[in-house]
Amino acid sequence: MDIYLIRHTKTDTPAGLCYGQSNVGLAESFTAELATLKQKLPDLTANCQVYSSSLDRCMQLAKAFSTNIRMDDRLLEINFGEWEGVLFDDIPPDSLKYWTENFVHSSQSNGECFNDLYQRVSHFWQELISSDAEQVLIVTHAGVIRALLAHILNIPLANAFAFKVDCGSVHKFQYLNQYTYIQFINL
């Protein structure tokens, strides 16, 4: 099974905005970014399974590849709770420092910690690799991609942010003979 993970393209948000599960739109550069992104992918087969986060920034991109999209809320970005829609500069420095040092198990009010995200993404992954799909395209978010990399490589969650995940980037995994190969990341 060839699995292509795509992070949504640039968003139409102010720099430094915390928008995890907020439903923000894509930047005006979407069409140009989409053209660049399509050059990074092979031709998709007729039976390619396309999955997407239900947020607009992912669904708009997923619709450029298929009309048959499987929305899955396990592919949503981390929920930042009370920080959603707030500029990072406006978050109390002590709170932000505590979270960055403890993000694996610390969450904001009405939000989730990175371990919560990791658990839901891991369940999605186990379900996916037990399917008979040959080619899969997943349109999602940076946190989800980092959690999948941590899951596949079995690394501590605290190290997940060592992976650079650019907007509009493609990451290819291959699941073969009950083993996952990482063919490339952040293309």
pLDDT in tens, 21-75: 999 999 999 999 999 999 999 999 999 999 999 999 999 999 999 999 999 999 9
Q: Closest Cα to residue 62, out of 140, 139, 145, 141? A: 139
In CATH, the architecture of 2-184 is 3-Layer(aba) Sandwich (3.40)
The pair phi, psi for residue 71, each rounded to 5°, is: -75, 140
Contact between residue 16 and residue 87 where contact means Cβ atoms under 8 Å apart: yes
Total residues belonging to the chain: 187
Q: Where are the domains of the chain?
A: 2-184
| pLDDT value at residue 34 | 98
| pLDDT value at residue 108 | 81
Tokens of 43: 């031709």
Contact between residue 50 and residue 84 where contact means Cβ atoms under 8 Å apart: no
Q: What is the mean pLDDT of the chain?
A: 97
DSSP state of 78: P
Instruction: Report pLDDT digits (tens) over 120-157.
Output: 999 999 999 999 999 999 999 999 999 999 999 999 99
Q: Closest Cα to residue 9, out of 64, 68, 88, 83? A: 64
Instruction: Report pLDDT digits (tens) over 67-113.
Output: 999 999 999 999 999 999 999 999 999 999 999 999 999 998 889 99
Q: Closest Cα to residue 147, out of 126, 122, 179? A: 122
